[in-house]
Structure 1
Amino acid sequence: MAPLLIATLTLAGCGGRFSDSGWNPLGWFGSGQGPTTLEPRDGYANANTDARPGIPAITGARWEVLNEGRLLVVTGIGPTKGYYNADLIGQSPSPTGRLSPDPDGVLRLRFVAWPPLSDSEFARLPARPETDTISVALTLSSNVLAGITQVEITGATNTVTIRK
């Protein structure tokens, strides 16, 4: 019982006016001062900036059921062949790698990709809808889906809305 009482009193000394003391084990391996916020260094406004332009035309969006959520599959097409590095990115400020809906329950995404270089062979070839579609998929867990009523995907010229 005595060792338990001693350990409890020792840990109780870690807070309060003794928190800056050399006896505080939380300060033994550094200053103990971690970040005070989870906000990115440049702020949320700069965290979600992406230089890639929107896909010229979104042609469709669909859900595929997974064990613990759903897979959002979005397809689009550009005027020429050669679009690459396509992705769905959130429009709302949020920590990197996390998606969250707006207060109204709408998850707003941008469908982006790099166009082919203007001097490349691909930039001169028109895209064919049968073979040159651009597809991206985004996994949404059941926890994320709980707060979402619909998903709105925006490209360069159109917007597609899909309900949960």
Structure 2
Amino acid sequence: MTKLTAPLLIATLALAGCGGRFSDSGWNPLSWGSGGSQGPSTLEPEGGYASTGDQRPSVAQITGARWEPLNEGRLLVVTAVAPTKGYSAVDLVTMRPQPPGRISPDADGVLRLRLVGLPPRPDSQQARLPSNPVTDTITVSMSLSHIQLARLSSIEITGAGNVVTIRR
């Protein structure tokens, strides 16, 4: 019993230094319980949510959108044509910034998306070559679960030159 008493007494004294009036002392190893080091008052990013949107430019022309069935929902497939060859990192992003991995429609039940991508560098050879709509089609997809689809009435996909709407 005495072998256990000494370690328990030491542990109790060490933890006692982490709270109370001694919380700002040097005995407090990580300033536990001290009122001086507080975390942020909000989870909102600096500058707000609106400034964290995707800054990539929209792809020029959306040529179509369709649904493909999945076991757990549907796959939204969007095809587009860029003005030149060499577009990369093409993706569907929500118009209203949302947390990663969560997609929810607006209050009217419409999910508004933008088709964005990185154009080639202006001094590259790809930027000088116009795209061929037959061979240079861009295809992007987004999977939506049955739960996400239940809240949707339609999806509106915006490009630089047009808007395509697809019903659920």
| Normalised-by-shorter TM-score class | 0.7 to 0.9
The 2-side partners of 1:119 and 1:87 are apart by: 24
The offset of 1:38, in angstroms, is: 5.1
The 1-side partners of 2:74 and 2:151 are apart by: 14
Report what 2:87 is aligned to.
83
Q: 1:141 aligns with which of 145, 162, 167?
A: 145
Deviations 1:107-146 (A, max 9, x none): 0000001111111111111111111011110011111111
Does residue 125 (structure 1) correspond to residue 129 (structure 2)? The answer is yes
SS in 1 for 2:86: coil
Deviates more, 1:95-104 or 1:65-74: 95-104
SS in 2 for 1:143: helix
The 2-side partners of 1:132 and 1:116 are apart by: 14
Equivalent pairs: percent with the same residue? 60
The ranges of structure 1 where at least 4 consecutive aligned residues each deviate by more than 6 angstroms after the TM superposition are: 33-36
Unaligned runs of 5+ in 2: 1-18, 21-29
The offset of 1:62, in angstroms, is: 0.5
SS in 2 for 1:46: helix
The offset of 1:99, in angstroms, is: 1.4
Unaligned runs of 5+ in 1: 1-20, 23-28
Report what 1:15 is aligned to.
none
Does residue 43 (structure 1) correspond to residue 48 (structure 2)? The answer is yes
Report what 2:26 is aligned to.
none
CA RMSD of aligned residues (A): 2.1
Report what 2:61 is aligned to.
57
The verdict on how the C-alpha distance between 1:145 and 1:35 changes in structure 2, with shifts beyond 3 A counting, is: farther
Deviations 1:50-86 (A, max 9, x none): 1211000000001101011111110101121111110
The 2-side partners of 1:35 and 1:149 are apart by: 38
Query: What does 1:95-114 align with in structure 2 at a 5 Å threshold?
Result: 95-114=99-118
The offset of 1:93, in angstroms, is: 3.1
Q: Based on CA coordinates, which of the two structures has the bigger radius of gyration?
A: 2
In the alignment, residue 155 of structure 2 is paired with which amino acid?
V
The offset of 1:43, in angstroms, is: 2.4
SS in 2 for 1:107: strand
Deviates more, 1:152-161 or 1:119-128: 119-128
In the alignment, residue 97 of structure 2 is paired with which amino acid?
P
Report what 1:18 is aligned to.
none
TM-score by length of 1: 0.75
Does residue 150 (structure 1) correspond to residue 154 (structure 2)? The answer is yes
Report what 1:69 is aligned to.
73
The 2-side partners of 1:59 and 1:93 are apart by: 25
